[in-house]
Structure 1
Amino acid sequence: MGLIARTGLDRFNPAQGGARGMRIAATGLLILMAAVYLLARSQEAAGSPVWGYVRAFAEAAMVGGMADWFAVTALFRHPLGLPIPHTAIIPRNKDRIGDTLAAFLRDNFLIPTVVARRLRRVDVAAAAGRFLAQPPTGEGRLREGASRLAASVLESLDDERLGGMVKGAIAARLKALDVAPLLGQSLRAAIAEDRHVPLLDGIILWAGRTLEANEHLIREMVHNRAGTIMRWTGLDERLATAIVDGLYKLVAEMADDPGHPLRTKAEEGLATLALDLQYDPEMQEKVARLKAEIIANPAVAAWIDGLWQQARNGLLNAARDPQAALAGRFGEALRQLGETLQQDERLRATINQFARRAAVGAVAAYGDSIVRLVSDTIRGWDAQTVTDRLESAVGRDLQYIRINGTVVGGLVGVAIHAANAWL
């Protein structure tokens, strides 16, 4: 019963009331025919031939109604509780019905070749493109549907293959990019607009801090290189102090004087570097080798992979949000994607191929599990509960069979009686 509740079979079926009403009507009609039969038998002795026809109709109607009642009842239970062979068909064959249904799903829907063949006739990418190019303007189901569609399109693409394509494209673009001239032009423009000054200031500040942090190393180096006489007289300490003070003074002068000769030399060096980056083949070759080494570094590959995953996750999160999926820049991007899907045949073919492979792969990997799930689920259902639910679902039409059997049986009885009377 717990499994029945989880599958939703214990919910109220709107057809149940209608089936009960039709059952009462069919049974009432059968009782009515019995009453008519008794009345016709009591009046037939009066000599009027009409009552003979009425009796024949009611008699045959009872036979037809009882036969159809037996047939309908035998589907779901034993008539009158008697264990008559070949009755209670559905409860006795519940497991076989589940196995048959599972086999039907497996043989007609969950075969990879069947799925692939049917999906070849379905242009998933074009349908998605049309939907995305003309998104729904209102809220509610349509927007949620568009959001789910966008997320499904993104999720249906093979992450490993598509991610490899994207990351490979990024790496190829980086390899094809001639970095040296761009760096040279950027450095030249920065020097022309004095945007290199903060860089020099930062270098000077860094030099001052480095000097302060390593002052003891300078004093130690002077002490180790000084002679015995200098150490004995203490001149090594005075020399080290003079060197350190001179360096501090140089750094301070460079920081305070924008026209300091060393700053000027540094600016001239930067200008020369900018020209070499733009026009010196040897310098450009050095930069190209350095760029190739950086791209080949595993850390850069991990960084590119992180960029792809962040972009993909961001798109999926945005697509799953029905309020944001079709709004703002992302909505415009979706519309552009829809137009591209409709116009670019190669992209559409690639996405359709991804969709087919995803569906076929899911069927190949999980088809047997789905079949077993259907079979095991039906096996786990309570037979009586399933019988009651099926009877309430199709019972209205089945009770019509009883009514029709009663009426048709009566008409056949009249026809037979008429034939006997005329012959």
Structure 2
Amino acid sequence: MIDADTRQADLRRMQLAALAVLLLALAGLALSVAMGGQGAWAWFKAFCEAATVGGLADWFAVTALFRHPLGLPIPHTALIPQGKHRIADSLAAFVRDNFLHPEALLTKLQVFNPAKRLGEWLASPAHQAQVTGTARTVALEALSLLNEESVRRAMGEFLVQRALSWNATATAASVLDVLTDEGRHQQVLDGALEKLRDYLATPEVRGLVAARLVKFSRAQWPKVTSVVDALSSVDKMADSLSDKLALQLVEEVQEALSHPEHTVRREFDAWIRSFISRLREDEVFAGDINALKDRVVQSQDVRSYLDGLWVEVRASIEMDIRRDDSALMRHLTQALAGLARRLGQDESLTQAINDHLLSAAGSLVSRMRHGVTEHIASTVKSWDDRSLVRQIELSVGRDLQFIRLNGTLVGGAIGLLLHAVTVWLKP
């Protein structure tokens, strides 16, 4: 792009060239008059006279676009500064109607096929590296920002306030509703019963039960246990009893697992539904749960733990991102390559993305169209008159000087033609 100084120099050179040609025409006119204006000088005079008139007329026309010629407030001059508001509105309307028209934009976007172009672009490893490099830079900047004490404090306060306003009981009731509607609470019960069955079947548990039985009996009935010890071993009796108890419990649990209509299942289902109702209807119970939640959220220990956890997570993420063999960046590259393949092979995906982009673009253009138009108009109207004139003159002023040059030369040619007609018509 050519800078302002270069354009100013080009404009100045063309202005001097146009002025020089006009002065030559004036000098030629003066010379032809001084030489009597007869014979060949008459032809020269006709050329120079018409060239002077044409040059002056075009100088006036070009100058009148930007300012008052010779500083004289002649009507319909200084057209650009005088009509700045009208120009601003016209320019804004032109951009709106030709560049921001929804149908035109959407047609071009549809022909462009952005999803397919994106897939082709992402298929290049160099472009994948470009995207991951940008993502790496943005991620590091974001992590740096989030590490600022003020930002961390603000985020912490925001999360605390959100947690305090969260109705834990309503959420719990909704989650349990979903679980019970799909019967998943019975799956949870199955898992618990299986764990209990396996636990009861272990020798360690049976030994623990036997030891507890012996300890309890010796503490509660020392004389009886002494008599039993004399006849048989209390430990053996406890082992036998614990084995039978464990076996009975395992059988009971297995029966509950095998029968969908078992009493345990029905009672568990009734308890869950009762608990859901209590969460929704018992205001005291709900208040107690939410109060407990608030105490946990506001606990300094919890805040300190979460803050320390965030520091560790952030440091771990940052350390990975900074590595040349970053796992996150590697996964991102693989995801980009996979997306490129999908976009190249899956026409339905490409069409779906294009449809969403067209819908979003249409909505965006419709919302922004008026705002962009107003912004263009108000910006141009706010410009200083001199700045506006200078910018436009630097953009098109050089070409306008060619109008002055052409006007001078064409005027001279017309003068010669008119003089020839005059000579031809004379008797």
Cα displacement (A) at 1:406: 0.9
Kindly indicate whether the alpha-carbon contact (under 8 Å) linking 1:184 and 1:273 is maintained by their aligned counterparts in 2: no
Q: Normalising by structure 2, report the TM-score.
A: 0.55
Unmatched 5+ residue regions in structure 1? 1-10, 149-171, 205-237, 244-260, 298-313
Residue 121 of structure 1, CA deviation: 3.4
1:86 to 65, 76, 94: 76
Task: Give the match for residue 31 of structure 2.
Answer: 39
CA distance in 2, matches of 1:115, 1:129: 21
1:240 deviation in Å? 12
1:234-281 deviation line (CA, Å, top 9, x unaligned): xxxx989969xxxxxxxxxxxxxxxxx989x9999999989998x887
Q: What is the letter of the counterpart of residue 78 of structure 1?
A: H
Structure 2 CA distance for partners of 1:347 and 1:275, relative to 1, 3 Å: farther
Output the CA distance in 1 between the equivalents of 2:99 and 2:248.
75
**Residues 139 and 42 of structure 1: CA distance in aligned 2, closer, same or farther (over 3 Å):** farther
Looking at structure 1, the residues matched to 122 and 246 of structure 2 have their Cα atoms a distance apart, in angstroms, of 56
- Describe the shift of the 1:84–1:182 C-alpha distance in structure 2 as closer, same or farther (beyond 3 A): same
> In 1, are the aligned partners of 2:115 and 2:354 still within 8 Å (CA)?
yes
**Which of 309, 330, 333 matches 2:332?**
330
Q: Structure 2 CA distance, aligned partners of 1:240 and 1:142?
A: 72
Paired residues, what number?
308
- Work out whether 1:105 is the aligned partner of 2:95: yes
Number of the residue aligned with 1:208:
none
Q: CA deviation at 1:77?
A: 1.0
**Does 2:28 match 1:26?**
no
Give the CA deviation at 1:106: 3.1
SS at match of 1:136: helix
Cα distance in 1 for residues equivalent to 2:348 and 2:94: 36
Q: Is the 8 A contact 1:136 1:142 kept in 2?
A: no
- Structure 1 residue 392 displacement after superposition: 1.0
Cα separation, 2, equivalents of 1:56 and 1:80 = 27
The amino acid of 1:90's aligned partner reads: I
Q: 1:140 to 1:125 in 2, by over 3 A?
A: closer
Within 5 Å, which residues of 2 pair with 1:134-145? 134-136=124-126
Between the aligned partners of 1:13 and 1:271, the Cα distance in structure 2 is: 97
What is the rounded CA distance, in whole Å, between the counterparts of 1:240 and 1:74 in structure 2? 119
Seq. identity, %:
37
Cα deviation for residue 35 of structure 1 reads 1.4
Q: Is 1:72 aligned with 2:74? A: no
- What is the root-mean-square deviation in Å for CA atoms of aligned residues? 5.3
Q: Note the alpha carbon deviations across 1:301-321, whole angstroms, 9 max, x for none.
A: xxxxxxxxxxxxx9xx99xx9
Question: Could you tell me how far apart the structure 1 residues matched to 2:415 and 2:17 are?
Answer: 21
Q: What is residue 411 of structure 1 aligned with on the other side?
A: 413
Q: Quick check: 1:184–1:275 contact (8 Å CA) kept in 2?
A: no
1:126 corresponds to: 116
> Does the aligned pair in 2 maintain the 1:68–1:402 contact within 8 Å?
yes
- Equivalent residue, structure 1, for 2:384: 382
1:30 and 1:20 map into 2 onto residues whose CA distance is 15
1:347 aligns with 2:349: yes
> 2:48 is aligned with what amino acid?
A
Aligned mate of 1:358, from 357, 360, 364: 360
Is the alpha carbon distance of 1:15 and 1:353 closer, same or farther for their aligned partners in structure 2, counting shifts above 3 Å?
A: same
Deviation at 1:58, TM superposition (A): 1.5
Q: Which moved more, 1:67-76 or 1:339-348?
A: 339-348
Instruction: Report matched runs for 1:250-265 at 5 Å.
Output: none
Q: Distance in 2 between matches of 1:330 and 1:116?
A: 31
1:43–1:242 Cα change, 3 Å? farther
CA distance in 1, matches of 2:391, 2:360: 36
1:365 alignment partner, SS class = helix
Range 100-109 or range 68-77, more displaced: 100-109
Amino acid at match of 2:13: G
2:397 aligned partner: 395
Q: Where do 5+ consecutive residues of structure 2 fail to align? A: 139-177, 209-214, 221-240, 274-278, 280-313
Measured in 2, the distance between the counterparts of 1:392 and 1:128 equals: 39
AA aligned to 2:415 is G
Match in the other structure for 1:303 = none
For 1:82 and 1:374, the matched residues in 2 are separated by 32
Contact 2:132 2:333 in 1 (8 A): no
One-letter amino acid matched to 1:40: S
**Contact 1:61/1:407 (8 A) holds in 2:** yes
Which amino acid in structure 2 is aligned with residue 32 of structure 1?
L
Distance 1:62 1:330 in 2: 72
**Alignment partners' CA distance in 2, 1:183 and 1:37:** 113
TM-score by length of 1: 0.56
Distance 1:359 1:267, change over 3 A: farther
The amino acid of 1:21's aligned partner reads R
Cα distance in 1, alignment partners of residues 327 and 100 from structure 2:
32
